[in-house]
Structure 1
Amino acid sequence: MDTGRRLCRHASLCSLGAAAIFFIYLNWNWVSSFPPVPPSSSSSASSQWEDPGPYHVAYPRNYRYIMDDTPTCNTETPFLVLMVHTATGAAAARDAIRETWGSEKLVLGRSVETVFVLGLPGGPDAERQQEELRQENRQHRDLVQSDFLDSYRNLTIKTMMMLEWLAARCGAASYAMKIDSDMLLHVRNAVRLLLDPGTATDAYLTGLVWWHSPVLRNPFNKFYMPRSAVAEPEYPPYPLGMAYVMSLDLPAKILSISPRVKPIFIEDAYLGMCMRLLGLPPTDPPEATMFLVDPEHPLSACSLSKVIAVTTTSAPQMRSYWERSRQPGARC
């Protein structure tokens, strides 16, 4: 009997020990997945901003552009500027866009320009990657690069640098669209929406708007946000970061109030926080089918005829959709 009790006790202790080790392992992986956000390469950046921790983003407003010789908004004033957020190593995706929807320069009589927004490459081969980016830009002159580390945790910095560039360079344009490099953009449908008499020309922000989006408190979730960073149970309404359109009065307005909103790493939610302080909610698109984040592939001809921006799974799929969307029979 005593031997049985000892064995039972031993088994229980082993089970508890294994559970504790498993919890520590999970917790370590969770913590290690949130590395500190690297500061700007300029020496003054870290001295002007405290350690942001894993949820806030160091944005000391003194990053600089190290690649910015594109003629966009310099030699002409486009109606719509497409700001494509891209990873430094995504040259194939950029080429696919240049050969498809990024090649559309005159749509419904309006000028459209495309630039790619990125930060610095990281890792042991960063200098090689940077030299490849220089060569790519010498050929295409469509890269806008700033001196922050290009990473998922720094997407808010990338968004704010995009707004700074638009405010400084493209104030005379009508609209800008932020879009990710894995998206299909139906440029004609986007321009058609912006030319509609019912579309506002000022204080306009639209996309796939998330209303009443909860602040996630599960520490094992990718988008976990503690109450110390965001106290409210819901984020203000914001357009999903995959693709959204704004009138060109907004970048300067957002930048003017952004010092009063401490940036978080979820870039589209942070945009919504700034818009709330401005008292300017985003606008739902006229049709829910215009912005699709998780569609069932393959898309039908009817869906392609209605969509403005849709997430794709590969560059070949995006090319195929773009070619189909330009065919006369792509209708419902």
Structure 2
Amino acid sequence: MSLFCAVLMENMHIRLIFFCVVGVVVAFFLYLNFHWRLSSWYASGQKAVLLLSKSEPQWEDPGPYHVAYPRNYKFIMDDTPTCRTTTPFLILMVPVAPSNAAARDSIRKTWGNEKSVLGQMVETVFIVGLPGGADAEQQQEKLKQENQQHHDLIQSNFRDSYRNLTIKTMVMLEWLALHCVKASYVIKIDSDMLLHVPNLVKLLLDPSTAKQNYMTGLVWWHSPVLRNPLNKFYIPTHVFAEPEYPPYPLGMSYVMSLDLPAKIIKISPQIKPLYIEDAYLGMCLKRLGVSPTDPPEDTMFIVDPKHPLSSCSLSKVIAVTTTSIPQMTSYWERSRQPDAKC
């Protein structure tokens, strides 16, 4: 009995040692496996972080009331000599749809062809974005051919659309700030407008016209923010809380001294860009402490006249909206006649 107990005790002791050894070995292999998995996970995570850090930031939808600016837009067509080999007194900057070659051609034949006015150099350039639609490639090729002939197109790589007018305006200001600091004034004017260049130059040469921090056009004062969701220009209070926009010139045509583009670009990151381009411009001006100036006469900037302009009206106007290319051409021809006066 004693021997049996002794043998039994010895066997139990051996088994205990055996199980302890097995347990240690299993624990060791479990540790190695866990450590390997942890290292692999960490390496994968680091690789993912590295890849994300090298890639461009993901695009964030600006929502229905803002636009994606700034987005590091590039100029992909820009060989105009304006402000590079010349120093014009006045630049005529015309934002236009890529497909609207007819408007560009009519402007080149009329007010855009006035190069020397009252002894001052005047130059015209057109700014466009990327064409859209099924024939975008064909449109782009036509733009290249057009620019090879005229060298007056500036194109950036944003999508050209009504919704992106704020982007188009800011890209225009970027180009002016980059190239035209030695010029004096610029007028941004839509392609459906008549521009009376001599009347504009006469205004800008007037000693009372400011040479810095100057902006004029058809200025809207106390313009209410539209809160009706059914309105095209509806803006909710969480986007813009004030009941009125700061004063701004209507986007159809406005004049500015060429110190302003760089100032507006510098201040613009502080203001989230609305898709309503002229209202956003007014917000930037307010932040700068610059107020637009009413023109000396109400007849200088006219939008949607109820009746065709008389010779007397044409003798006073600077910019007026037109209904067609033939009407614009007719206005321009009449404005150049000696009897175009009151």
Q: TM-score range by the shorter chain?
A: 0.7 to 0.9
Aligned counterpart in structure 1 of residue 149 of structure 2, from 120, 136, 139? 139
Q: Deviations over 1:18-41 (max 9, x none)?
A: xxxxxxxxxxxxxxxxxxxxxxxx
Q: Which moved more, 1:278-287 or 1:296-305?
A: 296-305
Residue equivalent to 1:21:
none
Structure-2-length-normalised TM-score: 0.83
Residue equivalent to 1:291:
301
Residue equivalent to 2:317:
307
**Distance in 2 of aligned mates of 1:297 and 1:137:** 36
Matches within 5 A, 1:49-60: 50-60=60-70
Deviation at 1:220, TM superposition (A): 1.2
Aligned counterpart in structure 1 of residue 158 of structure 2, from 129, 138, 148? 148
**Distance in 2 of aligned mates of 1:220 and 1:126:** 32
Are residues 131 and 293 of structure 1, via their aligned partners in 2, closer, same or farther at CA, if it must alter by over 3 Å? same
Deviation at 1:292, TM superposition (A): 0.3
Q: Is the 8 A contact 1:63 1:147 kept in 2?
A: yes
Aligned counterpart in structure 2 of residue 275 of structure 1, from 281, 285, 301? 285
Deviation at 1:61, TM superposition (A): 4.0
**Distance in 2 of aligned mates of 1:277 and 1:262:** 12
Residue 100 of structure 2 corresponds to residue 81 of structure 1: no
Residue 198 of structure 2 corresponds to residue 188 of structure 1: yes
Aligned counterpart in structure 2 of residue 169 of structure 1, from 171, 179, 190? 179
**Distance in 1 of aligned mates of 2:70 and 2:334:** 45
Are residues 141 and 282 of structure 1, via their aligned partners in 2, closer, same or farther at CA, if it must alter by over 3 Å? same
Matches within 5 A, 1:248-259: 248-259=258-269
Matches within 5 A, 1:72-151: 72-151=82-161
Report the secondary structure of 1:159's partner residue.
Answer: helix
Report the secondary structure of 1:78's partner residue.
Answer: coil
**Distance in 2 of aligned mates of 1:309 and 1:48:** 42
Residue equivalent to 1:234:
244
Larger gyration radius, structure 1 or structure 2: 2
Residue equivalent to 1:261:
271
Report the secondary structure of 1:229's partner residue.
Answer: coil
Q: Deviations over 1:209-247 (max 9, x none)?
A: 000000011111111111121111100000000000000
Deviation at 1:115, TM superposition (A): 0.2
Residue 226 of structure 2 corresponds to residue 216 of structure 1: yes
Residue equivalent to 1:19:
none
**Distance in 2 of aligned mates of 1:105 and 1:188:** 11
Deviation at 1:60, TM superposition (A): 2.4
One-letter amino acid of the structure 2 residue matched with residue 107 of structure 1? V
**Distance in 2 of aligned mates of 1:88 and 1:142:** 13
**Distance in 2 of aligned mates of 1:61 and 1:152:** 18
Q: Is the 8 A contact 1:48 1:60 kept in 2?
A: no
Q: Which runs of 5+ in 1 are unaligned?
A: 1-42
**Distance in 2 of aligned mates of 1:297 and 1:125:** 38
Q: Which runs of 5+ in 2 are unaligned?
A: 1-54
One-letter amino acid of the structure 2 residue matched with residue 297 of structure 1? H
Residue equivalent to 2:38:
none
**Distance in 2 of aligned mates of 1:275 and 1:60:** 18
**Distance in 2 of aligned mates of 1:297 and 1:190:** 23
Residue equivalent to 1:4:
none
Report the secondary structure of 1:148's partner residue.
Answer: strand
Report the secondary structure of 2:315's partner residue.
Answer: helix
Residue 215 of structure 2 corresponds to residue 205 of structure 1: yes
Q: Is the 8 A contact 1:291 1:309 kept in 2?
A: yes
Deviation at 1:254, TM superposition (A): 0.5
Are residues 136 and 282 of structure 1, via their aligned partners in 2, closer, same or farther at CA, if it must alter by over 3 Å? same
> How many matched pairs?
288
Report the secondary structure of 1:306's partner residue.
Answer: coil
Deviation at 1:51, TM superposition (A): 1.5
Q: Is the 8 A contact 1:155 1:266 kept in 2?
A: yes
Q: Aligned residues: percent identity?
A: 76
Q: Deviations over 1:259-282 (max 9, x none)?
A: 000000000000000000001010
**Distance in 1 of aligned mates of 2:307 and 2:97:** 24
Matches within 5 A, 1:24-43: none
Residue equivalent to 1:69:
79
**Distance in 2 of aligned mates of 1:324 and 1:61:** 44
Residue equivalent to 2:254:
244
**Distance in 2 of aligned mates of 1:219 and 1:237:** 23
Deviation at 1:297, TM superposition (A): 2.8
**Distance in 2 of aligned mates of 1:133 and 1:229:** 37
Q: Which moved more, 1:314-323 or 1:295-304?
A: 295-304
Are residues 208 and 329 of structure 1, via their aligned partners in 2, closer, same or farther at CA, if it must alter by over 3 Å? same
